[in-house]
C-alpha cells in the first residue's frame, strides 16, 4: 500500500536514512517544526523560484524519526492552510506530478 502523500514525497532510503521532498511556505515553518520536534534532519537541497510562493526542500531524516516526521508534515499542512495559503495542497500535488512525470520520462 502506498503511503498517503500530503505535502511530502519519499525520494529514497538507505541503511540509516529516508530522503524526502517537501514543500514549505517562505517562513521556513517546517525547519522550525522539525527542530522543535527533536527530529535530526539535514537539508540536502533547497529550491526557490521567484513566481512560486513556496520553497521545496530535499531533506534527510533518520529512519527512527519517520513517524515524528509524518506528524510534523501533517501539522505543517494545517499551519499553511490556517495561515491563508489555501492553494498549498494543490501546489504540492502539482509539484509532485511534475516530479513523477520527470522520473517516468528518465526511465
Residues 31-71 pLDDT 10s: 999 999 999 999 999 999 989 999 999 999 999 999 999 99
Contacts of 11 (CB under 8 A, 6+ apart): 19, 20, 21, 58
Q: Is CATH 3.30.70 correct for 8-106?
A: yes
What whole-number distance in Å separates Cα of residue 65 and Cα of residue 42?
13
Strand duo 54-62 + 41-48: pairing: antiparallel
Q: What is the pTM of this model?
A: 0.86
Weakest-pLDDT range from 15-19, 40-44, 80-84: 80-84
How deeply is 21 buried, as exposed, middle or buried, from its count of CB atoms within 10 A (0-12, 13-18, 19+)? buried
For the chain, the domains span 8-106
* 8 has a pLDDT exceeding 60: yes
CA-based R_g, the chain, Å: 13
Amino acid at each position: 500500500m502506498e503511503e498517503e502523500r500530503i505535502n511530502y514525497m519519499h525520494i529514497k532510503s538507505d541503511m540509516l536514512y529516508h530522503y524526502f521532498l517537501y514543500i514549505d511556505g517562505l517562513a521556513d515553518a517546517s525547519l522550525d517544526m522539525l527542530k522543535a520536534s527533536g527530529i535530526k534532519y539535514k537539508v540536502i537541497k533547497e529550491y526557490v523560484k521567484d513566481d512560486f510562493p513556496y520553497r521545496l526542500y530535499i531533506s534527510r531524516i533518520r529512519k527512527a524519526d519517520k513517524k515524528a516526521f509524518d506528524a510534523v508534515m501533517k501539522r505543517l499542512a494545517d499551519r499553511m492552510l490556517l495561515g491563508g495559503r489555501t492553494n498549498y495542497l494543490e501546489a504540492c500535488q502539482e509539484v509532485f506530478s511534475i516530479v513523477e512525470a520527470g522520473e517516468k520520462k528518465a526511465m
